[in-house]
């Protein structure tokens, strides 16, 4: 099985990376033989959309599973749409992460475990609402937010997610088709 591990280096003894979309390197490891290929992350320096591009890259490389410290919502959705599960790695080396995966010791991610743009330099605090002045925009606590019908909201969100996954799959298929024509 081909496993993609977000890594800080290009060997099995390199530290596993705590981030996915902006990690320096992916190690694609054949779990049975431990043979691997280290590939620089082409999305690491992207201004935006690194998670999506990184996930598409990993999927296109044929990964059957992803081992990483964090997966944001965009990367998680791309991987999920492609049927590639993500597993949580907390520290250690790439080798240790793969061995833990093979032993069934890693927790599968049922959803993203960080917010969007968490891996951006500066913590994602760029030219957002604070306009670069370091201002924090308060977020109302959950209790102060208006009450909504939870089931109705969940149903709408699931329908939206279903539509987005379909759009993503269609877009990925079209991109792959166009790249094959070149």
Q: Over 116-156, what HEC string results?
A: CCCCCHHHHCCCCCCCCCCCCCCCCCHHHCCCCCHHHHHHH
33 and 80 in a single domain? The answer is yes
26 and 84 in a single domain? The answer is yes
The yes-or-no verdict on residue 12 having pLDDT over 90 is yes
Question: Pick from 91, 95, 89, 119: which is nearest to 13 by CA?
Answer: 95
- Summarize the confidence of residues 120-136 as an average pLDDT: 39
pTM metric for this prediction? 0.64
66 and 10 in a single domain? The answer is yes
Select from 84, 108, 132 the last residue of a domain. 108
Which residue reads 């060997």 in tokens?
A: 11
Residue 22: phi, psi to the nearest 5?
A: -120, 25
Cβ neighbours of residue 175 under 8 Å, at least 6 residues apart? 56
Q: Band the pLDDT of 179: cuts 50, 70, 90.
A: confident
Which residue reads 């999506």 in tokens?
A: 52
* Enclosing domain of residue 37: 2-108
């Amino acid at each position: 099985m081909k496993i993609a591990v977000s890594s800080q280096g290009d060997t099995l003894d390199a530290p596993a990376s705590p981030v996915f979309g902006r990690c320096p390197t992916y190690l694609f490891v054949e779990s049975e033989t431990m043979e691997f290929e280290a590939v620089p992350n082409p999305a690491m320096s992207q201004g935006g959309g690194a998670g999506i591009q990184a996930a598409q890259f990993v999927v296109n490389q044929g990964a059957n599973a992803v081992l990483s410290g964090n997966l944001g919502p965009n990367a998680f959705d791309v991987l999920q749409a492609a049927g590639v599960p993500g597993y949580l790695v907390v520290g250690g080396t790439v080798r240790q992460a793969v061995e833990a995966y093979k032993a069934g010791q890693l927790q599968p991610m049922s959803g993203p475990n960080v917010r969007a743009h968490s891996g951006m330099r500066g913590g994602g605090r760029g030219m957002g609402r604070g306009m670069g002045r370091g201002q924090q925009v308060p977020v109302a606590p959950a209790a102060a937010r208006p009450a909504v019908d939870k089931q109705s909201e969940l149903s709408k969100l699931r329908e939206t997610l279903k539509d987005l996954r379909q759009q993503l799959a269609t877009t990925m298929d079209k991109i792959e088709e166009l790249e094959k024509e070149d």
